[in-house]
Amino acid sequence: MKETLVRRQEDRTREACLVRPGTSEDDTVRDAFVNATPGATFFHLSSWRNLVASTYGHEPKELLAFEGDELVGVLPMMLVRSLGGRRNLLSMPYAVYGGPVGRTPAVERALLERAKSLAEELRVGHLELRYFDAPDNDLPESDLYCTFVRDLPETPEEVLERMPKKARAECRKARERYGLEMTQGPWYVDDLSRLFLRNKHQLGSPALPIAHFRGILEQMEDRVSVHLVRHERKPVAAVMGFHFQDTLIAYYAGTEPGADRAVKASNFMYLALQEWAVEQGFRRFDFCRSRRDSGAFSFKKHQGFEEHPLHYRFHLVRNRTLPAFTPSNPRTRFLRKTWAKTPQWFARFGSDRLSRYLP
């Protein structure tokens, strides 16, 4: 009887909930809702939509849910084109998190149902929703990725103390023996882009254009920090972090090839970044997404973080199977090896053009 009453109440909520397309005129109330709502993410903000639209030309298709005049739910989405030419709906491009966020589960289901209807109307290949937690739906799921989030300690000194013994020793070596130092400023964005490209090139994957990183600063500089690590005045690593609610998200990073082995650059960078986050008053540190089979996944475990499985759900329309064009697919191995052997200038040139189709 109790389950029946709850179901009826949710049905009434969906009926009272108006779901409509969002516009730029909704941005102020939409961002206020996102900033105040548990389960919302940095990528639900209108500034991320603006970045993606201006840099890559993808078309916003966001949905907003209202009860009367009150905003009660947001689903950020964009219409993107794949390498094969087929269009897909994605929440959200170039983001690790997305999906509907609402005041109640019933609101989120209303947003999902409207998104599925929109996908059918547009005859896209598929609708992809990048959930953080497992949602209450039975859509097919990819379990390729995990994220790593944990609470920060009360003091900067405790960051090092609670690291695993081996990682702690490597961080001390980086700071005391190699004398690594970290500094902060938006002007280091070009160093970050250069190092990010070099790492992606080594892995056999296209990077992102410099316009992407500069666009982030233009759209949301007050929510972004860029840190640079130096060894003997030479840049060896850089990281861009996003500030959302009480969390610092370590999102984009790059290291000079060989710097991790030679001077433990990444070990030091993430230690120092967490210490900085504590000093700034952040309560949580988001080490962000990694593939289960990747070196980055192993590194984060080595640093003492526990993985949290991400739940990427798909509503298939014209496509009949889940996307398989990923670095984990053995069929892409030849492409990755070939890309890694190309000259650096070609990798930059190709990345600038291919990144639009790899959101």
Q: C-alpha dihedral over 127, 77, 58, 241, to 10 degrees?
A: -120
List pLDDT tens digits, range 326-349: 776 777 788 888 888 899 899 999
Stated pTM of the model: 0.92
Query: What letter would DSSP give residue 162?
Result: T
The rounded distance, in Å, linking the Cα atoms of 99 and 43 is: 10
The rounded distance, in Å, linking the Cα atoms of 40 and 75 is: 10
Note the residue count of the chain.
359
The rounded distance, in Å, linking the Cα atoms of 192 and 153 is: 27
Residue with tokens 């990077």: 207
pLDDT of residue 328: 66
The rounded distance, in Å, linking the Cα atoms of 141 and 127 is: 12
Distances (CA, A) of 136 to 64, 82, 196, 318, 323: 19, 28, 36, 24, 22
Neighbour count for residue 160 (Cβ, 10 Å): 17
The residue type found at 41 is T
Indicate the pLDDT class of residue 144, thresholds 50, 70 and 90. very high
Distances (CA, A) of 321 to 122, 128, 276, 315, 330: 18, 12, 44, 10, 17
358 Cβ partners below 8 Å, 6+ apart? 83, 206
Strand 126-131: give its sheet, edge to edge: 59-60, 78-81, 87-91, 126-131, 311-316, 141-142
* Domains detected in the chain: 2-145+310-318 (3.40.630.30), 153-282 (3.40.630.30)
The dihedral region occupied by 175, where left means phi > 0, alpha psi between -120 and 50, and beta the remainder, is alpha
Task: Give yes or no for a contact between 41 and 75, defined as CB atoms under 8 angstroms apart.
Answer: no
pLDDT of residue 333: 82
pLDDT of residue 331: 75
Indicate the pLDDT class of residue 8, thresholds 50, 70 and 90. very low
Helix (H/G/I), strand (E/B), else coil: 238: strand
> Is the pLDDT confidence value at 242 over 70?
yes
Neighbour count for residue 225 (Cβ, 10 Å): 21
The rounded distance, in Å, linking the Cα atoms of 221 and 243 is: 10
Q: What percent of the chain has pLDDT over 70?
A: 95
Range from 42-46, 193-197, 318-322 carrying the lowest mean pLDDT? 318-322
The rounded distance, in Å, linking the Cα atoms of 272 and 157 is: 10
The residue type found at 310 is L
Record the tokens describing residue 228, joined without a space: 């640079």
Query: In the predicted model, what is the mean pLDDT of the chain?
Result: 92
Range from 64-78, 145-159, 319-333 carrying the lowest mean pLDDT? 319-333
pLDDT of residue 6: 39
The alpha-carbon radius of gyration of the chain (Å, integer) is 21
The rounded distance, in Å, linking the Cα atoms of 180 and 192 is: 17
Record the tokens describing residue 96, joined without a space: 């690790």
Nearest residue to 239 via CA among 251, 224, 257, 248: 251
pLDDT of residue 11: 53
> Is the pLDDT confidence value at 10 over 60?
no
